Structure 1
Amino acid sequence: MASSDVKDLEYGLNRQDSERPPFDDNLKEEPPQLEVDPFGAEDTAEIKYKTLAWWQCGILMIAETVSVGVLSLPATLASVGLVPAIILIVGLGIVTTYSGYVIGQFRQKYPSVHSMADAGYILLGPIGRHVIEVGQLLFFLFACGSHLLTFTVMMNTLTDHGTCSIVFGVVGLILSLIFSLPRTMKNVSWLAVTSFLSIFTAVVVTMIGVGVERPGYGEMQLFRKTNFATGFTAVTNIVFAYCGHPAFFGFIAEMKNPRDFPKSLCMLQGFEIILYTVASAVIYRYAGQGVASPALGSAGPVVRKVAYGIAIPTIVIAGVVLGHVAIKNVYVRMLRGTEMMHKRDWRSNGVWIGMAVVFWVIAWVIAEAIPVFSNLLSLVSALFVSWFTFGLPGAFWLYIYKGEYFSSPAKILLTLANVGLFIFGVLICALGLWVSGVAIHNDHSHSSFTCANNAI
């Protein structure tokens, strides 16, 4: 790759995307629908998608990522000890910042990419597209299932198990479906602002609550001896807390200026790393070894209800953002290059609503089938986050710089780093599947599709 081509990968360019060929020479067999921007020209379109400012994109990314994951982190500290867990939180935060930047580089090089499936086509052709397409859809289904599960825990807490947990799950399903109906990210971004404020306030209330009440379910431990399965489950829970990467291509595609993506990424990662480190350490310090997962359950009865009440928007909206990205991926896949995607008629709306209904019903079934919060997070991390956050970004970099791996000392270091990123994704997947399977098999504390109180 010539030096001018390398410079084209940087975000500070003055050149427009349209001035660069979207694909390398070896990709000339691309089907026509993938050689253009996924939304095409929108000057006269009824519905315009490319409307996000960088800060709106950042808010959406925070709303999507900083929600369910942060609630599992204090229990992770209890599993492995304060010091190893903090090192993991900060270290994985830095690694996922880099892998997110690589995703942005790949999208800058290939501006037709709208999803991980499109990127899979560039890497591996039709087989890569189909495999990754199924994988990303399953990820979003499982992740949204975890939000519906959290919704039932929250409702059981607020109402003291006022009715059957399945009913609460159906209520969460209906709310998520209603908020998923807007077709553009910009409309969802205004909901995301509420989610952003909600999770931050709920976590702060929880920290203050446990600091004042000092429930002290066993003393905090700096280091803790544990078995491999428990320790690695803690790692996968931290990985899940940084699981926003599968949606990044979709967010970039709806930005006014995709070259601003690094600003959005830094906004997300800076907020994540600081919040995760401070909140998990403070809650674990005062709640001790018996800290709950989700962590909002660690406070006393009154503070717990207040925190869960404040967290309602993020529990719902963060799942909605994930669901919206998943539905949009399928929607664009079906209607790409057609006028129907930009219309407001009954057919376009009907297709969108139908997809949303099917998606949220399946997510609800998953939530009812795997009713243990931490086990579900661990399974999702192993199956999907391992690839979308680590393995595939490593492969993206290796593809972009194919033939230049040893062209300079800096390239050699980056090559080793990205090979390591890919291998790390493989290990998280293989070992994570094993430990999450063992945990789900051995946990008999909750039953599937039951009316029982899952907040206990």
Structure 2
Amino acid sequence: MTQTMLSRPAPGPEAVPESEYDPNVQDAEKNQKQQASQDVFGDEQDAEIKYKVLSWWQAGFLMVAETVSIGILSLPSVVAALGLVPTVILLVGFGVMSTYTGYTIGQFRWAYPHVQSMADAGEVLAGSFGREFLGMGQLLLIVFIMASHLLTFTVAMNTITEHGTCSIVFGVVGLVISYLLCLPRTSAKVSYLSIASFISVFSAVMIVMVAVGIQRPWKGELQAVVDTNLYHAFLGVCNIVFSFSGHVAFFGFISELKDPKEYPKSLFLLQGIDTVLYIVSAVVIYCYAGPDVTSPALGSASPLIGKIAYGIALPTIIIGGVVNGHVTSKYIYVRIFRNTDRMHKKDLVAVGSWVLIGFSTWVIAWIIASAIPVFNNLLSLIASLFASWFTYGFSGMFWLYLNKDRLFATPMKIFLTIVNFSMIAIAACICGLGLYVSGKALHEDSGSASFSCANNA
């Protein structure tokens, strides 16, 4: 579906100084009432479908399910490519930067309560061009993430069943399951699945860590750093970037919070869980599995443990994709029905449109998953082309736009101005070098067949 077919969202209000959103100011209650009248879902007191019902912890676990899933499976191989010390430094560094840029997204949403997606934010920055450019980028990024979940589902099923049937069949099964779980229209109903997703990935990774610790498939010496080259090193960096790249969906989660001011709690829940889990799992699995650690990492243990781990990881493989699929369907749905009563209706047109949108996006994701059957290369392509900007670059632009009249007003503003220009520069660097290494990787693996029944485990 092209963006020109979708209805144009209402223009945003003028930016409001950050001080007006301090919960300690006397007119905070007045500002909250203004936000309620301006946000995308409006007054839901008598609505058939109510969207703004998320608590902060529900939003936090949605963010965890969206972020902590596919990426964690590639991180032990990053340690093998970069060494222990560089990987830990990068994980901590990107974790801190992701927390800061995530908070900036919250600031931008507080100033512009009508923003529900990156497309809406793009309209604030650059009018209709910004709306269509960021909107298309958001669609492409999330559909590619959905595809990576379907791809990992086929890897898991091939591992569990020892290639019991054609990989395309497994992909179709994953497509059907994911689509059916995406049918609820509100994020609150999907949030309960996200808790199961976190338990699933945490349990699977713990099983693999314990198993490789007992089996010790590699008994060599640990390497703090390794001798590598730009190509292999930056493939690893792209995988780390992807593991923190949930920001594209944050506007959507904030828009369905009961109280958007509680968004920082959700963000800190996410960043605390993902940073700690990434570092511990990557280091422990690498220390015992060694340089030959597999990617995804759940295959590093014995064949039996690998099957058990993949079986336990199936919920997070599916649900992580479902959360992303729900976000992209919601974006399209809001673009079509914004400022109409149909947003909150249960009639045939409303329900039928939601069902058709979800089906279309999942079919496109399945085609992508079948056409690029290389796990790490798919991750690096997504991270370099899209995630670098949505996670770091555009957040820097949001902050600069919010503070455009006071960039050098105080020493702290000067420091933050430098920080946010640096975020834009980092995003540009990741995008440029990432495109080079991912393009080279795809070229070297060009012999891999698309839409193949072969075992991809």
Same fold (TM over 0.5): yes
- Report what 2:390 is aligned to: 388
Give 1:399 shift: 0.3
Give 1:222 shift: 1.5
**Secondary structure, in 3 states, of the residue corresponding to 2:17?**
helix
- Distance in structure 2 (CA, Å) of the matches to 1:146 and 1:427: 24
Question: Which amino acid in 2 is paired with 1:225?
Answer: D
**Secondary structure, in 3 states, of the residue corresponding to 1:114?**
coil
| Conserved 8 A contact 1:217-1:290 | no
| Conserved 8 A contact 2:17-2:111 | no
Q: In structure 1, which of residues 61, 65, 78 is the aligned counterpart of residue 80 of structure 2?
A: 78
- Report what 1:341 is aligned to: 343
In the TM superposition, 1:91-170 aligns within 5 A as 91-170=93-172
In the TM superposition, 1:309-324 aligns within 5 A as 309-324=311-326
In structure 2, relative to structure 1, the CA distance for the partners of 1:160 and 1:217 (3 Å cut) is: farther
- Report what 1:8 is aligned to: 20
- Distance in structure 1 (CA, Å) of the matches to 2:360 and 2:30: 36
In the TM superposition, 1:19-418 aligns within 5 A as 36-216=38-218, 219-418=221-420
Identical pairs, percent: 54
Give 1:302 shift: 1.0
- Distance in structure 2 (CA, Å) of the matches to 1:9 and 1:391: 24
Note the alpha carbon deviations across 1:78-123, whole angstroms, 9 max, x for none: 1111110110011100000000000000001111100000000000
Note the alpha carbon deviations across 1:229-252, whole angstroms, 9 max, x for none: 111111010000001100000000
- Distance in structure 2 (CA, Å) of the matches to 1:305 and 1:16: 54
Note the alpha carbon deviations across 1:169-216, whole angstroms, 9 max, x for none: 000000000000000000000111110110111110110011111111
**Secondary structure, in 3 states, of the residue corresponding to 2:395?**
helix
- Distance in structure 1 (CA, Å) of the matches to 2:183 and 2:30: 31
Give 1:453 shift: 0.5
**Secondary structure, in 3 states, of the residue corresponding to 2:49?**
coil
| Conserved 8 A contact 1:398-1:418 | yes
Unaligned 5+ runs, structure 2:
1-15
Give 1:19 shift: 5.5
- Distance in structure 2 (CA, Å) of the matches to 1:285 and 1:375: 24
Give 1:444 shift: 4.7
| Conserved 8 A contact 2:18-2:107 | no
Tell me if 1:425 matches 2:427: yes
- Report what 1:31 is aligned to: none
Give 1:13 shift: 5.6
- Report what 2:9 is aligned to: none
| Conserved 8 A contact 1:10-1:105 | no
TM-score of the aligned structures, taking structure 2 as reference length: 0.94
- Distance in structure 1 (CA, Å) of the matches to 2:208 and 2:32: 51
| Conserved 8 A contact 2:407-2:413 | yes
- Count of equivalent residues: 441
- Distance in structure 1 (CA, Å) of the matches to 2:386 and 2:135: 11
Note the alpha carbon deviations across 1:103-150, whole angstroms, 9 max, x for none: 000001111100000000000000000011100000011000000000
Note the alpha carbon deviations across 1:344-383, whole angstroms, 9 max, x for none: 1121111001001110000001101111101000000011
- Distance in structure 1 (CA, Å) of the matches to 2:29 and 2:387: 32
Note the alpha carbon deviations across 1:45-94, whole angstroms, 9 max, x for none: 00000000000000110011000000000001111111101100111000
- Distance in structure 2 (CA, Å) of the matches to 1:322 and 1:387: 18
